[in-house]
Structure 1
Amino acid sequence: MADRSIHILGLRSSRKPLFLFFGFVALFFAFSWFYFFGFAVGRAPIVGRSVLPSSKILSVVESRDAAPVTEIAGLEDPQCDPERALLKVFMYDLPAEFHFGLLGWSSKGGEVWPDVKEKIPDYPGGLNLQHSIEYWLTLDLLSSRFSDRSGPCTAVRVDDSRQADVIFVPFFSSLSYNRHSKVTPPMKVSTNKMLQDKLVRFLISQEEWKRSGGRDHVVMAHHPNSMLDARMKLWPCVFILSDFGRYPPTIANVEKDVIAPYKHVVSTFVNDSSGFDDRPTLLYFQGAIYRKDGGFIRQELYYLLREEKDVHFSFGSIQANGIKDSTRGMRASKFCLNIAGDTPSSNRLFDAIASHCVPVIISDDIELPYEDILDYSKFCIFVRTSDALKKNFLLKLVREISKEEWTQMWKRLKEVEGYFEYSFPSQKDDAVQMIWQAVARKVPEIKLKLHRYKRFSRSDADR
């Protein structure tokens, strides 16, 4: 028989030994890779903070089946661990006149903060509530290190500002504007302006401000008229706003700041089974019709739509039974108009979401909460102002949306409504947690600005 052996690596070997040789090599590499990955996975620490916080968040909002941020970050422990939280926050201990003192709370023993385990100071109702984010975020930080905390812990308060990702300024600026913007004789300036002046003086004197120039400071100014006197002086800060309608782009912009949802004033539609055929009104709007600035479109649309039989377009307010009327009207409507008013945004969008009434947004300059990770086109209709003012354009657009398409948007509204709900204690992926996550996604940009800010710190100090 002919010699069937071949020469490999200087050895003479038959085909059977050759097969065994390659099998051994393959097995060796397989075990090597298995060992490597097993070691890496088995030894990898739970990552609570990332250089890019958004990497843990991007997929969370798009699907309710996705793992929540708290599970990804390993934050289901009863107590918030600063080392495992998504965001470390240092909060100034401002005097009570800047926060809960505006609600009538006063310290009895020199405490800076109320004992929120015992009693939470009440926040005023009505339209005050729509800009109450300052209240909910501050409560969340105050409770972030409770040993029996049952809610999620996206942001945790730390005692050392040098360990913090951001510096939180607990000034209830919207409440200050709503309650104290008028000058009361014999005072020559309003309490609201006085507080803003005091705040600016306080901030620029702090070591934290001197280290960063304010770039890592988070300031709440949700009401469009809040912080009017101080905003130009605090321009480096991260503002939490409802929109950019009354800000120049050098002071506030989407790259630097965070848009937070209004707190809706209508009640949430629980156990909603009212589908397409159960909502007789095609298009709904109730609110102030005659507005200034970009709100001129409201009156134009009123004249275009008021005679349509399946459209409800009327004046309304929160007075008398206004909120109850709006609740009933939105729940009985397929589409709800959200039209620009004095500023690009309004609470009406979030009332519509809570009512599962598909929002029709007519506001060319509107900015929306969490839009970097949430696709609003899946549950909202967007219409340019110029198109909306064309005769029959708007009605033709919404009437052409099929029952099947509307139902998909209605279902999506019910999936995302929790992202716009404020609560204390905060719940997983509610508005409080979503705002903190949005702030966390700003941290890489904040750090970049801080590093650039420090480039010439040595030479500046020598001048």
Structure 2
Amino acid sequence: MSKSHLIPGFNFSDRIRETHASKSLFPSAALVHQVRKMSEKSMLSSKLLFYTITLSTLLFIVSSLFFLQRNDSSFTSSLVRKLILPRTDIKNDQTDAKPVSCGVLKVFMYDLPSEFHFGLLNWRKKGSETWPSVRNVSTVPSYPGGLNRQHSVEYWLTLDLLASETPEVKRPCNAIRVKSSKEADVVFVPFFSSLSYNRKSKISGNETVSVDRLLQERLVEFLKSRDEWKRFDGRDHLIVAHHPNSLLYARNSLGSAMFVLSDFGRYPSSVANLEKDVIAPYVHVVKTVNSNESAPFEKRPVLAYFQGAIYRKDGGTIRQELYNLLKDEKDIHFAFGTVRGNGTKQTGKGMASSKFCLNIAGDTPSSNRLFDSIVSHCVPVIISDQIELPFEDTLDYSGFSVFVHSSEAVKKGLLVNLLRGITEDQWKKKWERLKEVARYFEYRFPSQPGDSVDMIWSMVSHKLSSLQFHVHRKNRYRRSEAFERSLST
């Protein structure tokens, strides 16, 4: 049987003759034309399929929109709306109302009388108002300067919460004030405890008890009577006591709350600890150095700088030991100084022209000197074994600081040789990192993304898991205990 009989409709002899007639290995013009027509038909079919799919998709979207209008409460409506409709809950114009879903942290703030907060700044309310308006920055009550300012944390947090319900003020969407304590993550207590200590802790005239102590007693009475406090024994309450001596009489009574502190130097671990409390930076008192104007290694002639109180009690006695060791070193500035007169300005200039700044334990483990050195881009040398550092769950301080144990620092020659052994390249890496992290230690109003206020709210958010753990454990037998009480009555 010939091969031509194996394939129906195919004549092998005719095909050979056709090939010889063309005297070429290329296909005939007729064959090319036939292939081209088939290709055009295929392209037409593809285009028709594309248009059909596009039209079907458009019809689906239109029908979905119609369905949304007819039945807006259905699950399908919600799902389709998220998939195909533009966002309408976020406004570009700052005068528009802010959405309730804005903040990650919902904060209920008590409307305490003004003598607990802005009244301490000589603000006088008008009529029934509880809070000053924060719409215009120029009319916001100012905080006193000097060393008072270094513990003004409660002031900045309160302003930020007030701004969260003021659409005219632009701020990060990190925490918002809510009107109901039941929907809040935390309950904020707006008591300016550091300012109360600085201004009202001394007894004057015919007083037998200081105003500061009276305010603390009234605060404890108020909180203990509130259902919000009773609900979780105050565990979800946030109280700022940044000055080491603030809230001195009330801290034990309110120790179940979450504190915002500078350190744990004067607190027993049963009242304050890292598990529940937040460490916040001091407000620096020297001027921030612009990154573009920060002096490099070769333009900082002073190896190490310290200016402040030298004779301190408790852990601060190390200052005197270091003074005796370093006072005769030519490239080290170690001197007594205060903020009086031109002291703050001189300190700022000294830090900005020094490679390293000594941060030594004083009466308490921490001081604002650390944060002054950070904004001066002077590499901190931290000699304080009990210090707790703000935002350490986010920041690695070893990237821009040098840590030395107190017992090592007082060994003759060790500290000087350590600092002189740090190469220019090693110092430069820390200096560059300082310029990056300095923004985390700025308090501003309105607050800015990544500043101290923003970071504190973030730290509070991180503590919520521990808070929820204790709340859930407490709720284990609440239902059965309530049932037993009802039976007994």
* Selected match of 1:144 from 164, 184, 200: 164
- Counterparts of 1:329-408 in structure 2, within 5 Å, are 329-408=350-429
Percent identity at matched positions? 59
More helix by share: 2
Task: Indicate if the aligned counterparts of 1:288 and 1:317 stay in contact, CA closer than 8 A.
Answer: yes
Change beyond 3 A, Cα 1:436–1:142: same
Corresponding residue number in structure 2 for 1:444: 465
Measured after TM superposition, the shift of residue 454 of structure 1 is 2.2
- The separation in 2 between residues aligned to 1:111 and 1:266, in whole angstroms, is 35
- The separation in 2 between residues aligned to 1:246 and 1:359, in whole angstroms, is 24
- The separation in 1 between residues aligned to 2:204 and 2:330, in whole angstroms, is 49
How big is each residue's C-alpha offset from its partner over 1:129-148, in whole Å with a ceiling of 9 and x where there is no partner? 00000100000000012223
Corresponding residue number in structure 1 for 2:334: 313
Measured after TM superposition, the shift of residue 81 of structure 1 is 3.1
Measured after TM superposition, the shift of residue 82 of structure 1 is 3.3
- Counterparts of 1:174-213 in structure 2, within 5 Å, are 174-213=194-233
TM superposition score normalised by structure 1: 0.83
5+ residue gaps, structure 2:
1-78, 84-89
- Measured on the aligned residues, the alpha-carbon RMSD in Å equals 1.8
- The separation in 2 between residues aligned to 1:196 and 1:77, in whole angstroms, is 42
Measured after TM superposition, the shift of residue 243 of structure 1 is 0.2
Measured after TM superposition, the shift of residue 457 of structure 1 is 2.8
For 1:106, what is the secondary structure of its paired residue? coil
- The separation in 1 between residues aligned to 2:198 and 2:284, in whole angstroms, is 17
* Selected match of 1:111 from 129, 142, 149: 129
Task: Indicate if the aligned counterparts of 1:82 and 1:88 stay in contact, CA closer than 8 A.
Answer: no
Change beyond 3 A, Cα 1:459–1:413: same
Is 1:429–2:450 an aligned residue pair?
yes
> Amino acid of the residue matched to residue 442 of structure 1?
K
Task: Indicate if the aligned counterparts of 2:379 and 2:431 stay in contact, CA closer than 8 A.
Answer: yes
Task: Indicate if the aligned counterparts of 1:80 and 1:153 stay in contact, CA closer than 8 A.
Answer: no
> Amino acid of the residue matched to residue 333 of structure 1?
S
Corresponding residue number in structure 2 for 1:455: 476
Is 1:127–2:147 an aligned residue pair?
yes
- The separation in 2 between residues aligned to 1:261 and 1:303, in whole angstroms, is 30
Task: Indicate if the aligned counterparts of 1:87 and 1:154 stay in contact, CA closer than 8 A.
Answer: yes
Is 1:265–2:285 an aligned residue pair?
yes
- The separation in 2 between residues aligned to 1:224 and 1:266, in whole angstroms, is 21
5+ residue gaps, structure 1:
1-41, 47-73
Larger RCO, structure (CA 8 Å, separation 6 or more): 1
- The separation in 1 between residues aligned to 2:272 and 2:202, in whole angstroms, is 26
Task: Indicate if the aligned counterparts of 2:356 and 2:379 stay in contact, CA closer than 8 A.
Answer: yes
Change beyond 3 A, Cα 1:408–1:43: farther
> Amino acid of the residue matched to residue 115 of structure 2?
E
Change beyond 3 A, Cα 1:414–1:45: farther
Is 1:222–2:228 an aligned residue pair?
no
Change beyond 3 A, Cα 1:431–1:460: same
Measured after TM superposition, the shift of residue 43 of structure 1 is 8.1
Task: Indicate if the aligned counterparts of 2:160 and 2:445 stay in contact, CA closer than 8 A.
Answer: yes
Corresponding residue number in structure 1 for 2:100: 82
| Structure with greater Cα Rg | 2
- Counterparts of 1:248-327 in structure 2, within 5 Å, are 248-270=268-290, 271-327=292-348
Change beyond 3 A, Cα 1:459–1:263: same
* Selected match of 2:112 from 94, 111, 123: 94
For 1:88, what is the secondary structure of its paired residue? strand
Task: Indicate if the aligned counterparts of 2:102 and 2:173 stay in contact, CA closer than 8 A.
Answer: no
How big is each residue's C-alpha offset from its partner over 1:363-398, in whole Å with a ceiling of 9 and x where there is no partner? 000000010111000000000000001000101111
For 2:199, what is the secondary structure of its paired residue? helix
> Amino acid of the residue matched to residue 118 of structure 2?
F
Change beyond 3 A, Cα 1:268–1:93: same
- The separation in 2 between residues aligned to 1:97 and 1:219, in whole angstroms, is 16
- The separation in 1 between residues aligned to 2:272 and 2:159, in whole angstroms, is 25
Between the two proteins, the alignment pairs up a number of residues equal to 395
Change beyond 3 A, Cα 1:45–1:405: farther
- The separation in 1 between residues aligned to 2:282 and 2:180, in whole angstroms, is 31
Measured after TM superposition, the shift of residue 153 of structure 1 is 1.7
Corresponding residue number in structure 2 for 1:235: 255
> Amino acid of the residue matched to residue 266 of structure 1?
V
- The separation in 2 between residues aligned to 1:45 and 1:366, in whole angstroms, is 48
Change beyond 3 A, Cα 1:109–1:312: same
Task: Indicate if the aligned counterparts of 1:220 and 1:240 stay in contact, CA closer than 8 A.
Answer: yes
> Amino acid of the residue matched to residue 103 of structure 1?
L
- The separation in 1 between residues aligned to 2:81 and 2:335, in whole angstroms, is 60
Task: Indicate if the aligned counterparts of 1:291 and 1:342 stay in contact, CA closer than 8 A.
Answer: yes
- The separation in 2 between residues aligned to 1:101 and 1:291, in whole angstroms, is 34
- The separation in 1 between residues aligned to 2:293 and 2:80, in whole angstroms, is 46
- The separation in 1 between residues aligned to 2:80 and 2:415, in whole angstroms, is 58
